[in-house]
């Protein structure tokens, strides 16, 4: 609890939001990088289907995505049952895990698309040249691809993080709204407004606004220092 | 030896080389029009395209067997790409060291010992700390050549390394490649569609057509047939190899066996061999040794054969005293008047000679 301008504000939803967003970003970079690479190098017509699948969360109402995730990951659903077989306890929905799973799906296009475009922009002959200089696949990836896609990684991480911070529908569906456990800041603000607690809503909203602005300025500042044009 | 038979399907383009055997020695030029499959074949030989199928053995080592192929990093080749393909996020020095760091220890030590010599030889010693984006086209290719040489490759591949350059850099770089070939004696596969580069560099030529290897010939053989793809609109060309001698009276002689050929342009007399280029239409024939003529170069030759060249003309294939072949172009009318027949001894009058470049 924080006392601000005579109003007490519960900061737990903010911390939870940042935590979920950070974990989601890491997961997305780990999963999104190979996926984006695979898609960037894909020549067959399957690429269209895959691109469309990855882009789905952009057009789908978050509630639809949330609904399907709820069905697939519910405590008696196939995925949970499968994990239980390996000794998994707990559940995938209405928990922090659920929030992360939902966020990963929801923010997938924001992480994958910038990476895919960055990878596509790297001339194949640079990788060929590295191969003729005895660099194996991972060696080439970390010495040529990663340094040349810095900006793609930066944009990808920023968008994934920012988009997760800003989500509402999916976390409500998959995470529920359990105070202290799955109540993220966007939902918290909604609740405050619903119960006419405008002071709390004001403070939380302003904090989010300032925080988001700072993060974006930091990112674009770094981007400039790398000498790459923002745009 | 390189023994192979490679197939590669890329979109609508199909490479199907057919069986081929190339000595792993000297310069082999892959020649053909664009779309003939030269680059695709070179990529297949380098293992840069995973869909390659067929057979490939280099010095007894299996590089391709059916669909299974030895990964490029294990093939120990050097590759110079058309546009240099330098790593833009690294300095010149870092580009050069990229491959070096990945060599096994013994080779790395040797390559590091060669580093300065190669950098000097290629002429980039003063540019090591530059970013590669601040280099001219010619400088970029020099770095690319040094980068490939430092790998101590058993096969050096060059894919049209001069095509993106202006004529001056082209000529300088061709000279450099020639020197590198002479000095390091690394077997080279060189792609070009410029006959001048073939004449200057090639020991043998692989003619490619529609994704197939058409023929493999030595440069002499390739230049010996009147319909050679190496001849452009200037007609048949002869390339003579000789040893440069010190200049006399402002002229620059080349020794061809017992004969001497006089050139007006200077050359590097340190070199073991130079190549001179003579257009068939610049060669006339005389039955007797000419005495009162302004033409300096006249050589005694034997007629090997007469080949029709168009309606009114004949190509006369001559053998010089040192065994090299020379084309002369004459009209049918002159051939009849002089009674030119195979086996006859004549004098070739050469109006113009140029060094190949």
CA distance B87 to chain A (A): 7
DSSP state string for B290-348: -SS-S--EEEEEEEEEEEEETTTEEEEEEEETTS-EEEEEEEHHHHHHHT--TT-EEEE
Quick one: which of B62, B59, B74, B77 has its CA closest to B6?
B62
Mean pLDDT of A122-128: 94
B148 touches chain A (CB under 8 A): yes
In eight-state DSSP terms, residue A118 is H
Query: Distance (Å, rounded) from C-alpha B72 to C-alpha B157?
Result: 13
Q: CB of A44 within 8 Å of any CB in chain B?
A: no
Q: Which pLDDT value is given to residue B189?
A: 96
Q: How far is C-alpha B328 from the chain's CA centre? A: 23
Mean pLDDT score of chain B, rounded to an integer?
90
Residue A230 has pLDDT above 50, yes or no: no
Give residue A226's pLDDT.
61
A12-189 has CATH 1.10.3720.10 classification: yes
- Domain positions in chain A are 12-189
Q: How far is B215 from chain A, CA to nearest CA, in Å?
A: 28
Partners of residue B151 in chain A, C-beta under 8 Å: 132-134
SS3 state of residue B356: coil
| Share of residues in chain B with pLDDT > 70 (%) | 100
* Residues of B with Cβ-Cβ distance to A143 under 8 angstroms: 98
Within 10 Å of residue A177's Cβ, how many Cβ atoms? 16
Are the C-beta atoms of A134 and B70 separated by less than 8 Å? no
Interface check B72 vs A, CB under 8 A = yes
Tell me whether B140 touches chain A (CB under 8 Å). no
The H or E element that residue B208 is part of is strand B204-209
pLDDT tens for A137-151 read 999 999 999 999 998
Which residues of chain A make contact with B86, given a CB cutoff of 8 A? 129
Task: Inform me whether the pLDDT recorded for B335 exceeds 50.
Answer: yes
Chain B contact present for A133, CB below 8 A: yes
ipTM of the complex: 0.82
Indicate whether A135 pLDDT > 90: yes
Which of A126, A136, A148 lies nearest to residue B85, judging by beta carbons?
A: A126
Residues 6+ apart with CB under 8 A from B119: B96, B125, B128, B146
Q: Which domains does chain B have, with CATH numbers?
A: 2-224 (3.40.50.300), 276-355 (2.40.50.100)
- Joined together, the tokens standing for residue A95 give 């928990």
In this prediction, residue A231 has a pLDDT band, given cuts at 50, 70 and 90, of: very low
Highest mean pLDDT among B58-67, B160-169, B255-264: B58-67
């Amino acid at each position: 609890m924080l006392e601000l301008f005579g109003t007490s504000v519960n900061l737990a939803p903010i911390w939870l939001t940042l935590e979920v967003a950070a974990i989601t970003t890491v997961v997305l970079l780990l999963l999104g990088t190979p996926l984006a690479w695979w898609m960037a190098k894909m020549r067959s017509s399957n690429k269209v289907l895959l691109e469309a699948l990855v882009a789905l969360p952009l057009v789908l109402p978050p509630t639809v995505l949330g609904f399907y995730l709820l069905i697939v990951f519910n405590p008696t659903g196939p995925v949970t049952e499968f994990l239980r077989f390996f000794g998994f306890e707990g559940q995938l929905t209405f928990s922090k895990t659920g929030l992360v799973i939902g966020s990963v799906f929801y923010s997938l296009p924001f992480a994958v698309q910038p990476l895919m475009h960055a990878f596509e922009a790297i001339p194949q002959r640079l990788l060929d040249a590295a191969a003729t200089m005895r660099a194996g696949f991972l060696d080439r990836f970390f010495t040529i691809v990663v340094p040349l896609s810095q900006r793609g990684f930066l944009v990808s991480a920023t968008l994934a993080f920012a988009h997760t911070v800003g989500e509402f529908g999916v976390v409500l569906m998959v995470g529920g709204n359990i105070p202290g456990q799955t109540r993220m800041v966007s939902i918290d603000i909604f609740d405050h407004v619903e119960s006419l607690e405008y002071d709390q809503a004001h403070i939380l909203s302003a904090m989010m606004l300032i925080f988001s602005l700072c993060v974006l300025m930091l990112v674009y500042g770094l981007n400039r220092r790398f000498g790459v044009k923002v745009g | 030896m390189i023994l192979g038979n490679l197939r590669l399907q890329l979109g609508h383009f199909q490479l199907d080389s057919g069986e081929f055997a190339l000595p792993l020695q000297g310069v082999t030029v892959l020649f053909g029009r664009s779309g003939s499959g030269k680059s695709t074949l070179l990529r297949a030989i380098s293992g840069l395209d995973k869909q390659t199928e067929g057979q490939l053995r280099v010095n007894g080592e299996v590089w391709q067997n059916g669909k299974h192929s030895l990964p490029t990093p294990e093939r120990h080749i050097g590759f110079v790409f058309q546009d240099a393909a330098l790593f833009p996020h690294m300095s010149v020095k870092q580009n050069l060291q990229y491959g070096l760091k990945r060599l096994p220890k013994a080779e790395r030590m040797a390559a590091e010992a060669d580093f300065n010599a190669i950098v000097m030889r290629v002429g980039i010693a003063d540019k090591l700390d530059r970013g590669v984006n601040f280099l001219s086209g010619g400088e970029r290719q020099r770095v690319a050549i040094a980068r490939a040489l430092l790998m101590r490759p058993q096969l050096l591949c060059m894919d049209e390394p001069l095509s993106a350059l202006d004529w001056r850099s082209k000529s300088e770089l061709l000279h450099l490649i020639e020197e590198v070939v002479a000095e390091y004696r690394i077997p080279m596969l060189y792609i070009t569609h410029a006959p001048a580069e073939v004449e200057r560099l090639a020991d043998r030529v692989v003619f490619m057509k529609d994704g197939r290897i058409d023929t493999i010939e030595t440069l002499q053989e390739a230049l010996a047939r009147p319909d050679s793809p190496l001849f452009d609109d200037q007609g048949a060309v002869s390339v003579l190899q000789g040893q440069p001698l010190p200049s006399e009276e402002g002229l620059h002689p080349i020794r061809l066996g017992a004969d001497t050929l006089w050139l007006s342009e200077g050359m590097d007399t340190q070199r073991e061999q130079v190549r001179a280029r003579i257009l068939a239409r610049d060669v006339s024939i005389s039955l007797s040794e000419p005495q009162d003529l302004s033409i300096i170069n006249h050589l005694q030759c034997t007629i090997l054969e007469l080949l029709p060249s168009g309606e009114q003309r004949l190509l006369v294939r001559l053998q010089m005293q040192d065994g090299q072949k020379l084309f002369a172009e004459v009209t049918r009318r002159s051939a009849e008047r002089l009674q030119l027949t195979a086996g006859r001894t004549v004098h070739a009058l050469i109006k113009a000679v140029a060094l190949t470049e």
